[in-house]
């Protein structure tokens, strides 16, 4: 059970935060198809930061060398840097979409093509191969929080085992950020102005809101969240490796955003649902839900009659099947920001 | 507007003309630590004089298998052999990665070999059984060039055609290395094992490793009188790459009680060590000694890739090519080509002396290891080992 929760979170968190990144851009009126590209770029920056720190012995220089708390600080620093550079990368989209009034779908796609190419180019130079890994050791060994570190080694409670053992701080930081960003979007003056620019920028402008500035803010926040999400993805699911690929998580996040109807709470739900089924598909052979020692899903897949339907391939289909089903029932109510994708033109009304 | 269109058209035509001149080149990387320094000149002219050709060309070429060059495993081991020979004997060496990565076709591989030959390769080392078709084509096209087929076999021209004697097929008895690894970990006290293989169950080398691993575990379980469970999977390893799914699966296994997983396939190692490191569990490495890569590695099932590559290239330069050309060479304990790295292993329940005794027993034939792996490992009938195949 702990396994199910933890793995679900590992899949869901990057999806959630990147989908929220999409929301910030789209609510301000810019379609951000470049989420995948920004994630790839952010993952690269974060991994490079950790790699270089290891290479030049920065960790060893610290007074509290070996202290797990210090490592958490570095993890946060990595997230911050990848977020900043992600925002910088997203500026390209902002410039094309806001200043040049370019087609946002095309410029987003261009960034998606640019990011893996540019990342592979640098990875090739740095590592002389197509993937950049940690300089030494494993991500878990450096950054993972285990209950022993917190002095809870003896404890066997479900909450401790699930939420304080074998987890990354990044997961919780992302959840907190998610909540803060959702509040900013819905409960502050800034959020209201941002959203108005995605619905009716002319009206917003007539009330004295600077549409350009709002849209740039949306894109920058979007880039920062997506870049950070990329690093979190690399850290938690691929042993801190950057190879110009995030397994399509950026596009999945776009789907989750639409799935979640551009609303934070729905997005969180959609990401968790998707993550849960992803986890079931990959780990069905060792999931013991009620803790009685039998692994129901695994037994079913081997059952002579049930196994014909509930086989591993079916499990692997589930995340997508469920998404399709839910979309089929909810898409009618789904409503995109009205002015998204349309370059702001003062003269129009 | 017309003017721009005209300029555009001229540019397109000029580019097309350029494209026509250049042969399509596969991705090729830099050549670190080789004899030739500096960059390679584009499109070495074949009409150049002897000395010129020697300066701008690379005599030894390595064409990689799917996966990364520096995979800390199969490709890297082979490449290190090429590099070492070149360094020790003052030769030039260069590697070629077939285009399209994991989806490389026979044509991509042939293009890589063609590029190697056009860059002056006299001997081409090709790694991985998937190169067979491309190698056949290349060996026929360039009869004067020698090819070493690692993890391969002697090739023929067509189904029943003559044997191509410029191809040397070198295979390993991986089942022996797997056997030692399986034996070692069970003797060391592990009873819940896992096996994650690459190639989706179609790669003969990985299949032999896995089968040997199971047999070794069975033999050791017999000695110790314990029952051993093995989870056996080819999932998420088709491309020998790391993936979130593989990590999730391995994490699940470890959480479920699996103590050690044999990570049998190139970069899959990264996902499995990540899971092991998170769960304070262990990993068995493959092909080369991987103990430096992660603290979770207990031991590695090795095959002497670099030594045998050095050996095979040596045959060519010592004019003894006929000894291996056109033949199947299968290297195993008899040639000291497989085994465990005794210096770096972290086994505590099993000593190097005991390993040497077992090694000798395999060598003199008193312990036999079956190489004919079953298609479905769940049919393995062991007294002490139960194999659960996870699909």
| pLDDT tens, position by position, A164-187 | 888 999 999 999 999 999 999 999
| Cα(A28)–Cα(A41) distance, integer angstroms | 23
Report if residue B24 sits inside a domain.
no
| Cα(B237)–Cα(A268) distance, integer angstroms | 31
Residue A296 near chain B (CB below 8 Å):
no
Same domain, B362 and B238: yes
Closest CA to A334 of A268, A274, A277, A266: A266
Same domain, B321 and B262: no
Exposed e or buried b for every residue in B199-228, given b needs 16+ CB within 10 A? Answer: bebebbbbbbbbbbbbbbbbbbbeeeeeeb
| Cα(A345)–Cα(A328) distance, integer angstroms | 35
pLDDT of A38 reads 97
Q: Which of residues 71-130 of B touch A (CB under 8 A)?
A: 101
pLDDT band per the 50, 70, 90 thresholds, residue B18: very low
| Coil, strand or helix at B176 | helix
Write a three-state SS string for B321-335: HHHCCCCEEEECHHH
Same domain, B79 and B154: yes
Same domain, B147 and B264: no
A-chain residues near B30 (CB < 8 A): 128
| Cα(B336)–Cα(B362) distance, integer angstroms | 11
Give the residue with greater pLDDT, B154 vs A64. Answer: B154
Q: Kindly state the DSSP code that residue A167 receives in the 8-state scheme.
A: B
pLDDT band per the 50, 70, 90 thresholds, residue B33: very low
Give me the mean pLDDT over the B274-303 stretch.
Answer: 90
pLDDT band per the 50, 70, 90 thresholds, residue B11: low
pLDDT of B66 reads 82
Same domain, B251 and B372: yes
- Residue A122 has phi, psi (to 5 degrees) of -75, -40
Q: Where are the beta strands (DSSP E) in B128-185?
A: 146-150, 167-172
Contact flag B296-A138 (C-beta cutoff 8 Å)? yes
Q: Kindly state the DSSP code that residue B279 receives in the 8-state scheme.
A: T
What is the token pair recorded at A72?
A: 């958490």
Residue B243 near chain A (CB below 8 Å):
yes
Burial of A191 (0-12, 13-18, 19+ CB in 10 A): middle
Same domain, B213 and B235: yes
| Cα(A185)–Cα(A209) distance, integer angstroms | 16
Residue A124 near chain B (CB below 8 Å):
yes
pLDDT of B36 reads 33
| Rg of chain A over all Cα atoms, to the nearest angstrom | 21
Q: From residue B1, give the alpha-carbon distance in Å to each of A227, B7, B9, B85, B304.
A: 41, 10, 12, 60, 65
> Strand B297-303 vs strand B338-339: parallel, antiparallel, or unpaired?
antiparallel
| Cα(A291)–Cα(A289) distance, integer angstroms | 6
Contact flag B274-A130 (C-beta cutoff 8 Å)? no
Report if residue B250 sits inside a domain.
yes
Instruction: Provide the β-strand partners of residue B282.
Output: B260
pLDDT of A171 reads 94
Q: Where are the beta strands (DSSP E) in B64-137?
A: 93-96, 123-127
Contact flag A144-B231 (C-beta cutoff 8 Å)? no
| Cα(A133)–Cα(A225) distance, integer angstroms | 23
pLDDT of B14 reads 55
pLDDT above 90: percentage of residues in chain B: 37
B-chain residues near A283 (CB < 8 A): 248-249, 251-252
Residue the block writes with tokens 């780990």? A283
Complex prediction ipTM: 0.87
pLDDT digits (tens, 9 = 90+) for A260-292: 889 999 999 999 999 999 998 888 888 877 767
Q: Kindly state the DSSP code that residue A247 receives in the 8-state scheme.
A: T
pLDDT of B377 reads 86
Which of A155-164, B129-138, B303-312 bottoms out in mean pLDDT, i.e. has the lowest?
Answer: A155-164
Give the residue with greater pLDDT, A137 vs B178. Answer: B178
Report if residue B9 sits inside a domain.
no
Average pLDDT across chain B, whole number: 83
What is the token pair recorded at B89?
A: 């004997």
By C-alpha distance, the chain A residue nearest B391 is A312
Same domain, B110 and B253: no
Burial of A197 (0-12, 13-18, 19+ CB in 10 A): buried
pLDDT higher than threshold 50 for residue B156: yes
| Cα(B193)–Cα(B314) distance, integer angstroms | 40
Residue A1 near chain B (CB below 8 Å):
no
Q: Which of A1, A139, A282, A298 to mutate to test the interface with B (most CBs of B within 10 A)?
A: A282
Same domain, B230 and B355: yes
Report if residue B28 sits inside a domain.
no
pLDDT of B109 reads 92
pLDDT of A131 reads 82
Same domain, B269 and B376: yes
pLDDT of B10 reads 59
pLDDT of B1 reads 52
Contact flag B247-A238 (C-beta cutoff 8 Å)? yes
A-chain residues near B247 (CB < 8 A): 237-239
Structural contact between residues A108 and A101, judged by C-beta atoms closer than 8 angstroms: no
Same domain, B187 and B276: yes
Contact flag A138-B236 (C-beta cutoff 8 Å)? no
| Cα(A215)–Cα(A337) distance, integer angstroms | 13
Can you give the residue range of the structural domain that contains B283?
Answer: 174-302+351-390
Closest CA to B342 of B298, B293, B387: B298
Report if residue B326 sits inside a domain.
yes
- Vertex B294: Cα angle to B198 and B280 (nearest 5): 95
Give the residue with greater pLDDT, B258 vs B242. Answer: B258
Contact flag B391-A138 (C-beta cutoff 8 Å)? no
Instruction: Provide the β-strand partners of residue B230.
Output: B193, B387
pLDDT of A182 reads 95
Q: From residue B151, give the alpha-carbon distance in Å to each of A60, A210, B84, B208, B237.
A: 42, 66, 19, 12, 18
B251: nearest CB among A7, A278, A298: A7
B68: nearest CB among A131, A282, A286: A131
Element containing residue B301 per DSSP (H, E): strand B297-303
Alpha-carbon A47 to chain mean position: 15
Residue A129 near chain B (CB below 8 Å):
yes
Same domain, B142 and B184: no
| Cα(B390)–Cα(A302) distance, integer angstroms | 10
Which residues, in sequence order, are CB contacts of B60 under 8 Å at separation 6+? B82, B85, B86, B91, B92, B93, B94, B121, B122, B123, B125, B313
Among A238-252, A273-287, B11-25, B211-225, which range has the highest average pLDDT? B211-225
| pLDDT averages per 10-residue partition of chain A, 349 residues | 89 95 95 95 95 86 71 92 96 94 94 94 85 84 85 80 89 96 95 94 93 95 97 91 87 90 92 91 83 78 82 88 84 84 83
Put the strands of the sheet holding B60-63 in their side by side order: B93-96, B60-63, B123-127, B146-150, B167-172, B328-331
Element containing residue B302 per DSSP (H, E): strand B297-303
Instruction: Provide the β-strand partners of residue B28.
Output: B96
Burial of B45 (0-12, 13-18, 19+ CB in 10 A): exposed
Here the CATH number for the domain that contains residue B334 is 3.40.50.2300
Domain A2-330 part of CATH 3.30.310? no
By C-alpha distance, the chain B residue nearest A136 is B293
Give the residue with greater pLDDT, B232 vs A69. Answer: B232
**How many domains would you assign to chain B?**
2
Same domain, B236 and B362: yes
pLDDT higher than threshold 80 for residue B325: yes
Domain extents in chain A:
2-330
A-chain residues near B276 (CB < 8 A): 138
| Cα(B134)–Cα(B17) distance, integer angstroms | 29
Closest CA to B267 of B128, B27, B73: B73
Distance from CA of B323 to the nearest CA of A (A): 35
| Cα(B259)–Cα(B57) distance, integer angstroms | 50
pLDDT of B47 reads 31
What is the token pair recorded at B345?
A: 């292993």
Contact flag B255-A279 (C-beta cutoff 8 Å)? no
By C-alpha distance, the chain B residue nearest A311 is B391
Q: Collect contacts of A313-317 with beta carbons under 8 A, ≥24 apart.
A: A315/A280, A315/A281, A315/A284, A316/A281
| Cα(A249)–Cα(A233) distance, integer angstroms | 9
What is the token pair recorded at B209?
A: 């490793």
pLDDT of A349 reads 63
Q: Which of A283, A303, A312 to mutate to test the interface with B (most CBs of B within 10 A)?
A: A283
């Amino acid at each position: 059970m702990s396994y199910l929760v933890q793995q679900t979170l590992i899949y869901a968190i990057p999806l959630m935060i990147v989908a929220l990144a999409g929301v910030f851009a789209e609510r301000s009126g810019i379609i951000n198809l470049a989420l995948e590209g920004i994630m790839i770029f952010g993952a690269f920056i974060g991994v490079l930061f950790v790699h270089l720190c290891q290479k030049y012995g920065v960790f060893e220089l610290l007074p509290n060398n070996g202290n797990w708390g210090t490592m958490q600080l570095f993890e946060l620093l990595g997230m911050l840097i990848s977020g900043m550079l992600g925002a910088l990368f997203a500026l390209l989209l902002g410039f094309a979409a806001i200043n040049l009034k370019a087609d946002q779908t095309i410029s987003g796609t261009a960034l998606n093509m640019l990011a893996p190419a540019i990342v592979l180019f640098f990875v090739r130079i740095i590592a002389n191969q197509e993937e950049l890994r940690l300089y030494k050791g494993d991500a878990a060994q450096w950054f993972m929080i285990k209950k022993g570190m917190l002095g809870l080694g003896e404890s066997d409670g479900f909450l401790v085992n699930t939420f304080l053992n074998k987890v990354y701080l990044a997961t919780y930081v992302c959840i907190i950020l998610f909540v803060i960003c959702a509040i900013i979007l819905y409960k502050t003056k800034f959020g209201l102005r941002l959203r108005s620019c995605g619905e009716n920028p002319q009206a917003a402008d007539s009330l004295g809101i600077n549409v350009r500035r709002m849209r740039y803010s949306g894109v920058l926040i979007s880039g920062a969240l997506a870049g950070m999400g990329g690093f979190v993805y690399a850290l938690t699911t691929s042993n801190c490796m950057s190879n110009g690929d995030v397994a399509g998580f950026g596009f999945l996040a776009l789907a989750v955003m639409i799935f979640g109807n551009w609303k934070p709470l729905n997005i969180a739900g959609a990401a968790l649902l998707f993550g849960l089924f992803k986890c079931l598909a990959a780990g069905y052979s060792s999931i013991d839900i009620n803790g009685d020692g039998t692994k129901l899903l695994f037994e079913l897949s081997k059952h002579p009659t049930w196994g014909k339907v509930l086989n591993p391939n079916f499990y692997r289909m589930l995340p997508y099947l469920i998404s399709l089903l839910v979309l089929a029932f909810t898409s009618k109510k789904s409503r995109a920001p009205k002015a998204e994708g349309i370059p702001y033109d003062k003269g129009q009304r | 507007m017309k003017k721009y269109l005209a300029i555009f058209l001229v540019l397109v035509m000029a580019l097309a003309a350029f494209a026509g001149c250049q042969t399509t080149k596969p991705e090729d990387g830099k050549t670190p630590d080789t004899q030739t320094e500096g960059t390679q000149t584009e499109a070495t002219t074949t009409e150049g004089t002897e000395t010129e050709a020697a300066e701008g060309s690379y005599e030894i070429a390595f064409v990689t298998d799917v996966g990364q060059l520096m995979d800390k495993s199969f490709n890297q081991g082979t490449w290190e052999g090429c590099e070492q020979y070149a360094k020790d004997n003052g030769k030039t060496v260069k590697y070629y990665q077939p285009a399209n990565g994991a989806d490389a076709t026979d044509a991509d591989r042939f293009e890589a070999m063609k590029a190697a030959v056009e860059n002056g390769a006299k001997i081409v080392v090709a790694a991985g059984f998937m190169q067979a078709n491309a190698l056949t084509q290349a060996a026929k096209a360039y009869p004067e060039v020698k090819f070493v087929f690692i993890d391969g076999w002697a090739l023929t021209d067509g189904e029943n055609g003559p044997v191509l004697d410029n191809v040397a097929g070198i295979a390993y008895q991986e089942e022996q290395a797997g056997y030692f690894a399986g034996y070692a970990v069970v003797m060391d006290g592990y009873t819940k094992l896992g096996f994650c293989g690459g190639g989706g169950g179609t790669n003969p080398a990985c299949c032999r490793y896995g089968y040997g691993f199971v047999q070794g575990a069975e033999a050791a379980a017999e000695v110790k009188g314990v029952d051993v469970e093995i989870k056996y999977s080819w999932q998420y390893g088709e491309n020998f790459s790391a993936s979130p799914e593989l990590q999730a699966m391995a994490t699940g296994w470890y959480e479920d009680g699996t103590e050690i997983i044999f990570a049998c396939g190139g970069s899959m190692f990264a996902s499995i060590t990540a899971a092991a490191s998170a769960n304070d569990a262990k990993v068995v490495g493959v092909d080369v000694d991987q103990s430096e890569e992660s603290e979770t590695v207990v031991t590695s099932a090795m095959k002497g890739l670099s030594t045998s590559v050095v050996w095979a290239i040596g045959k060519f330069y010592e004019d003894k090519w006929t000894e291996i050309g056109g033949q199947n060479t299968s290297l195993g304990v008899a040639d000291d080509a497989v085994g465990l790295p005794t210096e770096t292993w972290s086994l505590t329940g099993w000593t190097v002396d005991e390993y040497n005794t077992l090694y000798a027993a395999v060598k003199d034939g008193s312990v036999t290891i079956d190489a004919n792996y079953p298609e479905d490992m769940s049919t393995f009938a062991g007294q002490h080992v139960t194999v659960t195949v996870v699909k």
